[in-house]
Structure 1
Amino acid sequence: MRTTFVVVNYNGEKYIEKCIESILSQTCKKFRILVVDNASTDGSIQIIRNIADRSSKVEVIRNDENVGFAKAVNQALELIESGLIALVNNDVFLDSRWLEEMVKSARSDLRAGIFASRIYFLNGLINSTGHAIYRGLAVMERGFFERDLGQYDESCYVAGACAAAALYRRKLFEDIGFFDEDYFMYNEDVDLSLRAILRGWKIRYVPTAIAYHVHSASTGFLSDFSVYYNSRNWVWSVLKNAPRRILIKELPFFLLRNLTSVIYFCLNGKFTVIKSKIDAIKELGEVFKKREIVRRGKRFERFEEYIDGFGWKVLKNVWLSKAERCDNNIDKVRV
């Protein structure tokens, strides 16, 4: 099974070379790499071109402006004919067996259209083992900032995949459509995963497919930029995809989570969260049009099976102090 890697780059000078080299070092060699550069202003585009000159597996698309992650991926999807598509962030480094393990899982589970990685931060703590949905329809990374004590060693179905390092079937995109370009970036993987579930696809977590993630290298972890787009786009993902009866049941908790996040971020000087909620509300007319399209194509009814408690532990880890999450040294990673 042939795979096309898609790497979206924006000012990734610090990490892009190691990212691409980790892909080129895969034990499974049936792939090519398509790098979409969003008008980077640093030296990363030259680094990419130098690698492309050395390797026939690497191709480059250069945009004239930063069109965002979702649109950049969609540009690549329009050109891809391979049966499998791997998305890898420009600040992610893959274990050499990542693709081999993903392809093995794709061959053995034809019901799954998305495959999630075991992703670590560079300090060894867990970044993601797939998505989980909690009360209030909060979609979070399983295991976020936990120590790996073997609690996520088993392959299973999950509620979504972190697109920093994930594998997709081309047939899935043909069935449910591409990423929602209105998101620009952040939470577009949540939206896609929810749409996939509602269409009857499964999402499999593959614990042996290991990746390492710097996390928000281009935008900054919990920066004003990331807070705005994450906060706005989560609201859209819920209102666009959650089945009516689930949305009504979870609405009080959904509103409470929005309120507490606004209070938390404002207390920490991130007032862009207020604008994010206002802008989310302004576009509800368009969101509800998309919701109707999702509703008409729905094949899966038991959405409540994916809701798993309140996720207070995950929420606490999301709001760790800066000092507790600063140990992210690239030199510790060996791929």
Structure 2
Amino acid sequence: MSETSHKSRVPSGLPRVSAVVLAWGAEPLLRRSVEALLASVKVDVDVVLVDNGCTTDDVAALGDLPGVTVVGDGRNVGFSAGCNVGVAAAAGEYVALVNGDAVVESTALARLVDELADPGIGIAAGAVRLADEPDLLNSRGNEVHVLGLSWIGGFRERETRTEPTETAGAMGACLVTRRAHWDRLEGFDPHYFAYHEDADLSIRTWRIGLRVVNVPDAVALHRYEFSRNSFKFYLVERNRMMFVATTWGTRSLVLLGPPLLALELAMLVLAARQGWLADKLRGYRWLWQHRDHLRRRRARLQAERTVPDRVWMRVLTDRLDTPLIDPPGRTALNAVLSAYWRTVRRWV
């Protein structure tokens, strides 16, 4: 692992935040992202820049800036593992994860740190807005479905909130947590590679009795693109199954068995129609090949839980309300699943 660091720091008395930024591909906003973090006010910020397969010379150039530490060997090890590499090199009492295509306002990190002064909050996430349309939200927090699906909440809505709100999931594009909390949960599971790792970290936070909040005046502008490709579908579906299999309690899995099976059948049909059936089946094969890891991870996650499913599952939704996906019969589907969940959740 290569590392370039700047160690001459003058103690400021301000909360110290280490912001982890992954550099992947050719990201036109990377320099703006790093410079905006370094310009943050009311916090003492250093940036850990992870070379996660950057294809330009930006990493080397940004590594010369005071307050920037460069780590990574230039391989794309995935978002999950890349963040772990960055946090391992972080020195702050708070850790921020900020996408290389996101630009924070100068007060954003300070507002998130302010929220973490409440010991009952485990993760504080920013209100992420669309860089090309900054009056519209990219995310006010991520929704997490009882069947393990996850999507961005509030997409293309206007911000109307004036106070922080609880959210099931923090979007990994801009969040802050205490380093101690990250270490307690051992960060992201690198097996996720990309997608669902932020939902996993967030739900595990709820399961140990801490809250996840989204802060409307902690703003980050994000160059967001909703891509559709077979590799993304493979990861999203594989990771959803891993997420549910390791995180949901045994009784919850049994009670949700019928709709989970129905969802699998529906996804197989959808994959066949859209041409990514081979990727869906590859996900099953990967899960089988990594079954020992799944068993170990499930045992660990079930042991760490301090809040019963019937309590933490209140943050989940039973409705598929994302504007990014509009399956046929969604209204009827939501009605049936909502009725089913209302019926069985008393036994969770």
Question: TM-score under structure 2 normalisation?
Answer: 0.81
Give the Cα separation in 2 of the matches to 1:308 and 1:83. 33
CA contact (8 A) 1:239 1:288 kept: no
- Residue in structure 2 matched with residue 324 of structure 1 by the alignment: none
For residue 10 of structure 1, the aligned residue among 6, 13, 24 is 24
**Pair 1:193 & 2:189 matched:** no
Give the Cα separation in 1 of the matches to 2:109 and 2:173. 14
Percent of residue pairs bearing the same amino acid type: 23
**Pair 1:140 & 2:151 matched:** yes
Query: Following superposition of structure 1 onto structure 2, how do residues 68-217 of structure 1 map, counting pairs within 5 Å?
Result: 68-107=78-117, 109-124=118-133, 125-143=136-154, 145-148=155-158, 150=160, 152-215=161-224
CA contact (8 A) 1:215 1:221 kept: no
Structure whose CA Rg is larger: 2
Query: Following superposition of structure 1 onto structure 2, how do residues 197-276 of structure 1 map, counting pairs within 5 Å?
Result: 197-215=206-224, 221-271=227-277, 272-276=279-283
3-state SS in 2 of match to 1:161: coil
| Cα displacement (A) at 1:308 | 2.4
3-state SS in 1 of match to 2:237: helix
Give the Cα separation in 2 of the matches to 1:191 and 1:258. 20
Give the Cα separation in 2 of the matches to 1:249 and 1:137. 14
Give the Cα separation in 1 of the matches to 2:105 and 2:326. 28
Aligned-pair Cα RMSD in Å: 2.2
C-alpha spacing 1:166/1:12, structure 2 compared with 1 (3 Å) = farther
Unaligned runs of 5+ in 1: 321-335
Unaligned runs of 5+ in 2: 1-14, 328-348
> Counterpart of 1:267 in structure 2: which amino acid?
R
3-state SS in 1 of match to 2:256: helix
> Counterpart of 2:175 in structure 1: which amino acid?
A
| Cα displacement (A) at 1:263 | 2.9
- Residue in structure 1 matched with residue 12 of structure 2 by the alignment: none
| Cα displacement (A) at 1:33 | 0.2
| Cα displacement (A) at 1:120 | 2.1
| Cα displacement (A) at 1:203 | 1.0
For residue 35 of structure 2, the aligned residue among 21, 42, 45 is 21
> Counterpart of 1:296 in structure 2: which amino acid?
A
3-state SS in 1 of match to 2:169: coil
Aligned pair count reads 308
Could you list the per-position Cα deviations for residues 158-178 of structure 1 after superposition, in whole angstroms to 9, with x for gaps in the alignment?
212111111111111222212
